[in-house]
Structure 1
Amino acid sequence: MTVELREMLAKSSPEESLTAHLSATLDGALALRRRVGEISFVDQVTGGRFWAAVCLAALCHDAGKIPDGFQNMLKGLVRSWGERHEIVSLGFLPGLVTDERLLMWVATGVATHHRSLEGGRGPLIKAYGGASDEEWRSRLRPVPENVAVELTGWLARTAREAGLPITAHVPGEVDVIGEARRVFSELLDAWELPVPPDEGLVAVLLQGAVTLADHVSSAHGTLHTRQPVGAGFRPLLEQVFAGRGQVLRPHQTEAASVRGHLLLRAPTGSGKTEGGLLWAATQAAEITHRTGGVPRVFFTLPYLASINAMAVRLGSLLGDDTLVGVMHSRAASYHLAAAICPEDGDDEQAVAARKAVSRAAATRLFRETVRVGTPYQILRGVLAGPAHSSTVIDAANSVFVLDELHAYDPRRLGYILAAARLWERLGGRVAVLSATLPDALARLFRQVLDHDVRLVEASTSGTPPRHRLGLREHRLTDPESIGEIKRRLAGGESVLVVANNVADAQGLFAELAPVTDVAFLLHSRFRRMDRSALEQVIGERFGVGRPRQLGLVVATQVVEVSLDVDFDCLFTSAAPLEALLQRFGRVNRIGSRPPADVVVHAASFAPRRKGGEEYADGVYPRPAVDLGWHILTRHDGKEVDEADARLWLDEVYGSAWGQEWYDDVLRHQQEFTEAFLGFAHPFVSRDELTERFDELFDGTEAVLERDRDAYEADLTTGHKAAGRLLAERYLIPMPHWAAPLTTWEKRLGVRVVDADYDERLGLGEIHGRAFQNYQAGEVL
């Protein structure tokens, strides 16, 4: 290798030679191919060229960094080159690839690994589509010809050593700019018209594979190539159970025998999580046999706190927490909390923050083969483009365990069903685990998925009842209700109170906390650091298997699946039946005591601010709540049988409202498919869909006005990313629609809210904004 080529840079901070980066990116693509394996329909579309195209594109993607303008920019001689290196990279391809169909796929991967062809930030078609040959040459040259020829030879040798299909003859001269313009023109012609769904999806997979290989290379990272929830998982679990004096239950063994999609209906405390993991292990082993890859296992849950707890649980079960990745947007904060001890000083915290940033970055680069997160993090891949397409290729040939889907929300359920159909198309298998799985939900999954869906149900025969139902016609916040709760606290019991919104929860806490020495309030409007501390202390005092202790927890619906806790009794506002059954599951959790009281109070119904239909306490649509209440009235004062509870759900979803719900779910499934999963124009920017997606699934966050200075100070602590991570301790989650209640602080890159706040109560009254009639705690 000549000095000229050896001195060509790919990156400047830290310096990395061009050939080293290209070689590492090829290695990343080869590793990705080994991990993902063969995707059957993809080979049909590309004629078996897919992985060859990915690897060649990865090898050549940054070859276009040799022009003087780009090298001078890396060396600090000019501020910016102002052109796109991936465009120049196209000029190397005709000298390496003679198969025209393969050439187009390789060119597609090279051209789109940073920018969209059309739309979005800096689209390539706008920058280069109408430029003449003379303009191309004047903008992109000079290109050192001797380096271009030598680099072409190096690319050919490297590709040949990797077993990739390239031409046997490497040209002695290379017109890089002329060839780049020709290939780019052919590329635009190829993707100008709408393409069939399968071809568009393959294009997204290709873009995602090249982008992911590039990211792994740039981070000097590696991809895990072993699936711990695979063939060896069942013996490991049986060993763990034996140490506790337990054996696998029949429904767990049956789940492990299923080969295909699964619906697992099992009561809380019956081991449905282990059943789901046993099923996942079987599927992972079969997918490996079929594709030669290493399937990823995605375990999804609806709430942040439950994600963290499941990651810890899986890491402990597998004997190595580095095998489990956390997918929620606050992954770095979670790892930071695990790394920092309360007695650490500022310097130690900065070091821990840097480590946490690295771990979170590795997770974002798809390193671990076991992931815990929300369904929406995986769904985000449908936004495609360089920023999201890697999520789609990562989902191929994978296993998805969806725990506790909320069926009563037809829109989100419809979107998840659409995604499940995509995952199946990509060679994946899907399981739904639920203590409250209605037959209507099972019917929906069978209708949407093409392959068999098997239902496994845990037997409740001989299971002693855990709960005794009581109904109250007055609201949870009424004086009569508060008096009853106080009497239970005075009797030395541990009491869980669940309100439907933050305002009610805060009001109840203010009334009840003074009558007991131990009281906690938990909802979603706390600063991150305060909520983490609350969850930890609540788990330590009221966790399953711990000695019985008196005390009070007032919470919102975040408690339904977020904490593994066990109380003596429950007082709750009326909600959809599924939500209520989840709340019941926090009481007498493993059935070790006589039936415990679960008391349901009537909800208050009213339209939201904009009018229209009525909602229970501003949260749940009235029909679903009314149906559940009507059913519960027939069982007031009786013990709750787990089998009967499932029949109650079937009655709800078998009603006229249930048929409307069913139709709504399918409508939203079709809506999501048409809006996000068509991929007719795979390289047109989807920026306009990003905001729509965020409104559906994500909220915003804000820092208190009083914390602004501390937030800014943390931002400047040590490493930039580590400082931002430390600052995130002060952020308070808020819904997307609440952005007008805040002020955008451009300099700090954060929203600021002027509001009352208390470490025990969370977010209070918001001041000085347009919503003058905002009430404390109203944010849901």
Structure 2
Amino acid sequence: MLPPCQPQGLHHLWAKSPPPGSSAGQSLAEHTWLVLARLADLIHLRPYLPQTLGVPRLWHILFWAAWLHDFGKAARGFQQVLRGKARRWNYRHEVLSLAFVDWASADLEADEQILLAAAVATHHKDWHELDDYRTPPDEDSDPLPAMLEELDPADIPLLYRWIETCAAAWRDALDLRPCGVEIPSLPELRQAQAGLQPKSIRRRLQAIQQTVLEWEEQAYRAGSREEMAPVFRPAIVLRGLMIQSDHLASAGSDSLPARIEAVPALLAELRRLSQGSFQLYAHQQAAAQTPGSALLIAPTGSGKTEAALLWAAHQQPPRLFYTLPFQASMNAMFDRLNALLPGRVGLLHGRSSLALMQRLMDQSYTPQEAARLARQLNDRAALGYYPLRVFSPYQMLKASFQLKGYETLLAEFSEAAFIFDEMHAYEPRRLGMIAATIQFLTQHYGARFFVMSATLPHMLRRQLRQRLNDPPVLRAEPQLCRRFQRHRLHLLEGGLLDEENLQRICRSVQAENLQALVVCNTVQRAQQVWERLRSSLPPGIPLFLLHSRFCMRDRLRHENAILQAAGLGSRRQPLVVVATQVVEVSLNLDLDVLYSDPAPLEALLQRFGRINRLGLRPPAALYVFTQDEKVFGYVYHPREQISRTLDLLKERTARVRPNGLLLDESALPGWLDEVYQDSLLARWEQDFEASLQEFEENFLAALKPFHSDQALAGQFNRLFDSLEVLPEALYDEYIQAQEEYRYPDADRLLVPLCWWQVQRLRQMGVVMEGDERLPPVVRLPYDEILGLQLPGSGMTPSPPDADQAEDFD
């Protein structure tokens, strides 16, 4: 969309350098139009946000901040840099842009003028980074006079007439008159020119500083963050939307896609994709009619995802975030949602560029084309282009840690809807941080949350209801749960590595032509089981291995091979998949029988969900071994979770041997409540509450406008204790990919490890330290069949095999 009115005589003023292969840069007028167009998109997403924030003229203020934000680029020195005739300009263009704020602020109240000036001044740098312009050490060091001298007097009338002749047409073309955007009373040209003085810039800077100091004084006197959040929120959202509009325009984004459909249109699309077979269950119908936040408890395979999407469609939020803990499950959900809403779903996690690149290469793009397009898609997701994004809760926590750009995140989260899946995956301390952020966004940013699970323990359910103002709890009907009786549970004496039990697996697969899933609690056990089964199974039965200690290239090969042989809809053939906990949340499998190490009940229930997933076959056998190894305590802490689970399962199965216990899905939440009581419950609640309170006091209470805190970046990164290393066996291949500029191919050769594992490997002398071009190299065995093989003693990861699900940006 082109602007309806073209300013005269301004083509020589650029805002951006020429792109590769071009001699002309992007003009100031063109860039400004694009910023205003993206701002208009964001305004139309949340038309009533000014009333919510208590700033009725918010859209008017932002419109004029966006119009003026780059006027400082008219300086001769800045134009020389854009044309490649100078290396750098020693001043901040956004500070020079403040000289023009008087042109648009005559009709504004004093506090509104401060917001407009602050949006202009901080659209690149935090406020404290501009101190030298506000308070120079002496008159000779004052940069403002020299900056103003770089404005060409001939350009000033042209900039003035641009506003005078085009402002109304641009506003109306963007349909912003109904949103309260007005045309200001411009000063006369002579007065406008005379006002471009150092004192006018410094007056704006000092007014912003005075407001910041008043906020800090208020915060010091405030008794809680609840008092300050409404004070800070307008300025936080203002800066967030200003930066987002500018970044979207600079990235060349076109008009933002429409939000997700309302319930009738979404239902029609779900039925089309299912070829008319999609029918609403009662809990899905209830979700589609529920206003505000809600919890859902329903069996695996009963359409929880569809229920969540129907809930979101009923909310009609400006933005929807589908939140999952593991990169593998995020990738799978992205594929699923993109089929439903093509072109409107973004993927955002630490390795999302690589995941997107792989999908593009699967569509016959060349590696170069796939890498370029994947970067573009990933950037769009990060910039808030898509109405629906699949990401991890750690992306959400970035705002709480006040990392650079956090205001843009909070602006995006305003009035948004969040779907939380697989809440069981977080240990209590991280759950405390997530719950604190959920409460903060609900109370202060109008966000709504839909938390769903097949099993939601009572203590987590209670905490979520408290943080979400007692939302309704939706449940699948009892008769539906009875229809989902898909499993018979058996306990087997001994351990998975016992020769007798390994032979039992081989016999059942061969004799009954079964597809077996074998789940181990550690990578090393999975590698050992795979090697021993390989020597026992006949060559004609496929044997697969899946864990997190493969490089991405090899892991994707394993996953694709497994899906081709055992995915939903594949031809049934006997096989064995040996895996760690990654299988609980990644591949959409539907196998026949399970053999599993003992684990906490919620982890076992996730493993159960990979067996007879659709319930189309008679109840399938689930075998859980009873030997509780010491090493499991490093994986699942406290280890008492496992012993309590085994005690419960022994009690439940005692009366039904040898036929096994037919599982009633509706009874499983009650089982979890039995496990989590007494000392285990007290420990869980203590960790949760301590984390929540610490997070509220040290992070959420510290959120303030125009100021990021990079000192917290280290704490944020330590939450997600992962480092990527390069196996020595892949070193030559990595270097070759780097030298040929195939950087995504090089990244696909890295293996994730917990940071403390890398520390121990350093102590053992098997790590060659990296540099800017090379990650740490580990001198340990690696091959595409087994993955990276760590030394056996003391190297067990915690949490389990971590799949490095969380984001490690």
TM-score, normalised to structure 2's length?
Answer: 0.86
- Of 778, 781, 801, the residue aligned with 1:756 is 781
Partner of 1:332: 353
Q: How much does 1:150 deviate?
A: 3.4
Alignment of 1:329-408 (within 5 A): 329-341=350-362, 348-384=366-402, 386-406=404-424
Alignment of 1:467-486 (within 5 A): 467-486=487-506
Alignment of 1:576-615 (within 5 A): 576-602=600-626, 604=628, 606=630
Q: How much does 1:617 deviate?
A: 4.7
Alignment of 1:163-562 (within 5 A): 163=177, 164-165=181-182, 167-170=184-187, 171-192=192-213, 193-194=215-216, 195=219, 196-237=228-269, 239-240=271-272, 243=275, 245-284=277-316, 287=317, 295-318=318-341, 321-341=342-362, 348-384=366-402, 386-406=404-424, 409-424=427-442, 425-450=444-469, 452-459=471-478, 460=480, 462-463=482-483, 465-491=485-511, 492-516=513-537, 517-562=541-586
Partner of 2:650: 633
- Residues 382-437 of structure 1: CA deviation (Å, up to 9, x unaligned): 34465332222112222211111126611221222122223323222110111112
Q: How much does 1:547 deviate?
A: 3.2
Q: 8 Å contact 1:208–1:386 — kept in the other structure?
A: no
- Of 18, 24, 31, the residue aligned with 2:34 is 24
Distance 1:635 1:255 in 2: 33
Aligned-partner residue type, residue 503 of structure 2 = G
Partner of 2:111: 101
Secondary structure of the 1:558 match is helix
Distance 1:513 1:776 in 2: 25
Q: How much does 1:265 deviate?
A: 0.8
- Residues 194-243 of structure 1: CA deviation (Å, up to 9, x unaligned): 25222223322222111110111111212434123424444315633773
Residue 686 in 1 paired to residue 709 in 2? Answer: yes
Distance 1:157 1:451 in 2: 54
Partner of 2:84: 76
Q: 8 Å contact 2:595–2:623 — kept in the other structure?
A: yes
Distance 1:596 1:572 in 2: 14
Q: How much does 1:455 deviate?
A: 2.8
Q: 8 Å contact 1:104–1:187 — kept in the other structure?
A: yes
Q: How much does 1:457 deviate?
A: 3.0
Distance 1:390 1:573 in 2: 44
Aligned-partner residue type, residue 545 of structure 2 = L
Distance 1:49 1:132 in 2: 38
Aligned-partner residue type, residue 15 of structure 2 = A
Change (3 A) 1:670 1:223: farther
Aligned-partner residue type, residue 714 of structure 2 = E
Aligned-partner residue type, residue 136 of structure 1 = P
Distance 2:678 2:533 in 1: 38
Partner of 1:7: 12
Percent identity of equivalent pairs: 33
Q: 8 Å contact 2:403–2:712 — kept in the other structure?
A: no
Distance 2:67 2:296 in 1: 44
Q: 8 Å contact 1:499–1:554 — kept in the other structure?
A: yes
Distance 1:454 1:404 in 2: 16
Q: 8 Å contact 1:149–1:173 — kept in the other structure?
A: no
Secondary structure of the 1:339 match is helix
Partner of 2:3: none
Aligned-partner residue type, residue 125 of structure 1 = D
Tell me which moved more, 697-706 or 508-517.
697-706
Secondary structure of the 1:224 match is coil
Q: 8 Å contact 1:204–1:385 — kept in the other structure?
A: no
Partner of 1:610: none
- Residues 481-526 of structure 1: CA deviation (Å, up to 9, x unaligned): 3233233233232111111121211111111123333111111121
Distance 1:112 1:744 in 2: 38
Aligned-partner residue type, residue 124 of structure 1 = L
Change (3 A) 1:773 1:739: closer
Q: 8 Å contact 1:26–1:56 — kept in the other structure?
A: no
Change (3 A) 1:342 1:184: closer
Secondary structure of the 1:340 match is helix
Q: Which runs of 5+ in 2 are unaligned?
A: 1-5, 20-24, 172-176, 220-227, 654-659, 762-766, 803-809
Tell me which moved more, 140-149 or 371-380.
140-149
Q: 8 Å contact 1:528–1:731 — kept in the other structure?
A: yes
Distance 1:227 1:342 in 2: 26
- Residues 663-686 of structure 1: CA deviation (Å, up to 9, x unaligned): 432332232223332245333331
Distance 2:593 2:664 in 1: 17
Change (3 A) 1:146 1:102: farther
TM-score, normalised to structure 1's length?
Answer: 0.89
Partner of 1:655: 678
Aligned residues: 745
Secondary structure of the 1:93 match is helix
Distance 1:451 1:59 in 2: 44
Distance 2:769 2:8 in 1: 50
Secondary structure of the 1:94 match is helix
Partner of 1:291: none
Instruction: Supply the RMSD in Å over aligned alpha carbons.
Output: 2.9
Residue 642 in 1 paired to residue 665 in 2? Answer: yes
Alignment of 1:122-201 (within 5 A): 123-125=129-131, 128-132=134-138, 134=140, 135-137=142-144, 140=147, 141-155=149-163, 158-161=166-169, 162=171, 163=177, 164-165=181-182, 167-170=184-187, 171-192=192-213, 193-194=215-216, 195=219, 196-201=228-233
Q: How much does 1:585 deviate?
A: 1.0
Q: How much does 1:263 deviate?
A: 1.0
Q: 8 Å contact 1:325–1:372 — kept in the other structure?
A: yes
Aligned-partner residue type, residue 732 of structure 1 = V
Distance 1:107 1:649 in 2: 55
- Of 736, 741, 748, the residue aligned with 1:729 is 748
Distance 2:274 2:758 in 1: 52
Aligned-partner residue type, residue 641 of structure 2 = A
Q: Runs in 1 of length 4+ with deviation above 6 angstroms?
A: 1-4, 775-779
Q: How much does 1:151 deviate?
A: 2.2
- Of 666, 673, 691, the residue aligned with 1:668 is 691
Q: How much does 1:444 deviate?
A: 1.2
Aligned-partner residue type, residue 262 of structure 2 = G
Q: 8 Å contact 1:265–1:457 — kept in the other structure?
A: yes
